[in-house]
Structure formats: C-alpha cells, structure tokens
C-alpha cells in the first residue's frame, strides 16, 4: 500500500507524544485526588472519586484509541501496525489509571500511606509501561484526519523540537528524571506538602506519571542489541534504587510522614506499621515490574536482532 494518506503516522509524532498525552490529560485535570489527611472526625468517606475532568480525560483517551485502532486495522489488517497484544496492553494500562485516579483507592490514600504507595506504583510501574507498549499516539493519530496527521507530524519533525526531544528521551536522561521524581517526592517535606495542598499534589502525580512514561519509553523503545543491553542496565539500577527507598521506609524506626498520624488507627495500624507496609509495596511488587521487563529484554538481547532490524550489510 502506498500514498501519503495511507502511510503510518509520522515517526516524529509517535516519538514525541507517546507518553505526553496521558501525562497531559492528568495535568489539565483539576486536583480531585489531592490529599489532606485529617483525624477520623474530618476524614472523607471512602468511595469512588467522581471528578468530571478526570472522567472526561480518561474517556477521551479511550475513545480516541478505539477509533484510531479501528481505522488502522481497517486499513492495514487486524493485528497489523499495532498488535492485539499491544492493544490489550493499552487497555490494561488504561484500567490501571482508572484504578489509581478514580477508584476508592484514591480516597483511601488520604488515610493510609500504604494505599498512597499502591496508587503511585499503579501510575509508575503498571499504567505507564502498559500504555507505552500499546503505542497510543501511533493509534490516536489514526483517529485524526490524514491532513491533521501530516501537519502534526511535520511540526514534530522541526529541528527546534526534535533536538531537545532526542536529548530528553535519551536513556540516561530519562533514568535521571525518573530517579529524581521518585526520591525527591518521597522526601518528607515535599511529600507532606503534597498531602496538604491540592496543587502540589497534582504536580506530584504529574511528575510520577510523566517521568515514568519517559523512562519506559526510553527502555522499551530500544531495538538494537546495544540499546537493549543499556535498557537492561537502566531497568536493573532503577529496580535497585527504588527497592532501596522501599527498604528505608520499611526498616525505619519512626514514621517519616506525620500527616497520617490521626487516620491509620481506624484500620488497625499505627503510623509506623502503615509506613512499613507502604515501603514493602515499593520494595517488592514494584520491583517485579522492572525485573520482569528486564528479563523480557534479556531474552530479546540473547536472541539477537530480528531480520528486519539487521543492517543491510549483515
């Protein structure tokens, strides 16, 4: 098949926005999930978070993906361009976002640090990698008219955008940004500020999701043998430093975050036990995502590049 209208969306568009739109959708949403834990008398009831902007953003992303996928598969054939597995991964990642931002887990995080950690790991270690696997912008672009696809693709290919983008998405830069977000926002002063202020809490979640999408984009986008080897290194070191933070939280002899002091007793936990449970969430389950992905990349690395990836001289 040929022709500009039938060609896949521009690579620049895919590269520049695969993680940017879901992060942007969360950024423009009002801070419905902002946390300010109080004593039991002032604690809000635990239920679903019904925030119109969050709902609209999630629906827009799902509808755009479904429409784009239908058009792409109608044009290229079912399962081609974006595989069924990739489309299923996006759906699972989307459901993880719903669980993190809308389910009772969101409001439970106002009372338990451990629930808050589950929410953060859903954003960073579940939703982000699954949505990257789903190649969302390549699909979202197919929901647009061909003229709009070409126009946006040309804009993202401009040197003024492309050069800083390539630097930002380099594996080392993405690793540093993600590590800074994880460690910085778990510093007691910043974490308590996010609990106390809606705007700061929105910024915290945006940083977690943005940095995670950036990290997983750089790790999962490697196709060369050398690139996959580097991705394994960054995945391993991320697993190690995030596990170290989880271990510090778990083995601490005092609570780091006094904002939860008045709300954990209702769940049969004291603040230190709650913190230790949250540290275990970061230490063990979250590490599995990095470890499993590293194993998958190792298998690809051992098998070598696929024929389409080999150079013409090979």
| Ordered per-residue pLDDT tens for the chain, 314 residues | 433 333 344 444 444 444 344 444 443 344 434 444 444 444 456 788 777 878 888 999 999 999 999 999 998 888 888 899 999 999 999 999 999 988 999 888 878 999 999 999 999 999 999 999 998 888 988 888 888 777 777 776 777 777 777 788 788 899 999 999 999 999 999 998 988 887 888 889 899 999 999 999 888 877 677 777 888 889 999 999 999 999 999 999 999 998 898 888 888 899 999 999 999 999 988 888 888 888 888 887 777 655 444 433 33
Q: How many CB atoms lie within 10 A of CB 157?
A: 15
Write down the pLDDT at residue 146: 80
Q: Record the pTM.
A: 0.78
Q: What is the DSSP letter of 49?
A: -
Q: Indicate the length of the chain as a whole number.
A: 314
Asked if 50 contacts 71 with a C-beta cutoff of 8 angstroms, the reply is no
pLDDT of residue 306: 52
Residues 278, 113: Cα–Cα separation, whole Å: 6
Residues 6+ apart with CB under 8 A from 83: none
- pLDDT reported for residue 191: 92
* pLDDT given at position 150: 78
Count of beta carbons in the 10 Å neighbourhood of residue 245 = 17
Residue 50 confidence (pLDDT): 79
The backbone torsions φ and ψ at residue 115, rounded to the nearest 5 degrees and listed phi first, read: -65, -35
Phi, psi of 6 (to 5 degrees): -100, -5
Structure tokens belonging to residue 5: 């209208």
């Amino acid at each position: 098949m040929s022709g500009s209208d039938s060609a896949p969306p521009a690579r620049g568009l895919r590269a520049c926005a695969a993680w940017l739109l879901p992060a942007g959708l969360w950024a423009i949403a009002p801070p419905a999930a902002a946390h300010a834990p109080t004593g039991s008398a002032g604690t809000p009831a635990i239920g679903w978070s019904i925030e119109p902007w969050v709902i609209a953003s999630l629906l827009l992303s799902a509808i755009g993906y479904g429409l784009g996928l239908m058009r792409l598969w109608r044009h290229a054939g079912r399962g081609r361009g974006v595989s069924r597995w990739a489309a299923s991964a996006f759906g699972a990642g989307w459901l993880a976002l719903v669980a993190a931002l809308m389910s009772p887990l969101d409001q439970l995080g106002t009372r338990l640090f451990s629930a808050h950690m589950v929410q953060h790991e859903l954003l960073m270690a579940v939703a982000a990698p699954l949505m990257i696997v789903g190649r969302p912008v390549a699909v979202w672009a197919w929901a647009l008219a061909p003229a709009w696809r070409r126009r946006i693709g040309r804009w993202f290919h401009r040197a003024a955008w492309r050069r800083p983008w390539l630097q930002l998405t380099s594996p080392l830069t993405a690793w540093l940004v993600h590590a800074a977000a994880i460690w910085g926002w778990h510093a007691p002063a910043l974490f308590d500020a996010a609990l106390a202020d809606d705007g700061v809490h929105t910024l915290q979640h945006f940083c977690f999701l943005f940095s995670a999408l950036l990290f997983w984009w750089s790790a999962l986008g490697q196709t060369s043998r050398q690139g996959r080897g580097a991705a394994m290194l960054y995945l391993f070191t991320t697993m190690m430093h995030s596990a170290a933070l989880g271990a510090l939280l778990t083995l601490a002899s005092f609570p780091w975050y006094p904002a939860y002091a008045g709300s954990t007793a209702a769940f049969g936990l004291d603040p230190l036990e709650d913190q230790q449970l949250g540290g275990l969430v970061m230490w063990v389950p979250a590490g599995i995502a990095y470890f499993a992905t590293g194993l998958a990349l190792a298998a690809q690395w051992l098998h070598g590049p696929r024929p389409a990836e080999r150079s013409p001289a090979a």
